[in-house]
Structure 1
């Protein structure tokens, strides 16, 4: 990816903001993660189903999926926010090993140093939005 960018190739502007911040710093701010940071369809659908559940019985239809996301408390209607939080954390943290690998490869070409020094300069290359020429 770093070589492609250095040679004027198209930027990979497909990352979520938190992913880009991880590439810049090597750290994740878990407190700032939200359901908008979830990218995979399965998790987005589960979040939507949990939000739209009107009673405990309809929420229990998704118990297996909720538990597989790491939620360990009792599944109740008034626990929707903590259930959604567990889904968000599950969906985002499973990407960290891949991002670490990507970051390590980018370090070989000094791109991580540039991103850490001036994150705004490279932002449009990695996060969707207006692409500016570098």
Structure 2
């Protein structure tokens, strides 16, 4: 969605964080992994970075996104990963909320972002249905 707004270092950090988000709920859903693959393809990265291993590592990577637009782009992209399987798992949401707090993003914005990404995913599915019909 907004990976093009990020610099190369931020894109790499996002991809590491996105891979962590796929694994954090212990539910390997192919739809989440497809979103991560899309991020990797859209990025300017030549190699696939190894995913973050811990919440602390994810929070440390988030420091690369302290500028307003970048921090919001990060959270929108991570919501895209989290919601790809139609389930906002509590462990995933804890990570998103911790990142938002670290980045100084309020709960109201977070709710709007989650709603936006859910609608965006629904529109994408509708578009795919149109292509198949």
**TM-score grouping bracket, smaller chain normalisation:** under 0.3
Select the structure of larger CA radius of gyration: 1
> Which has more helix, going by share of residues?
2
Task: Report the TM-score when normalising by structure 1.
Answer: 0.26
Q: Which has the higher contact order (CA 8 A, sep 6+)?
A: 1
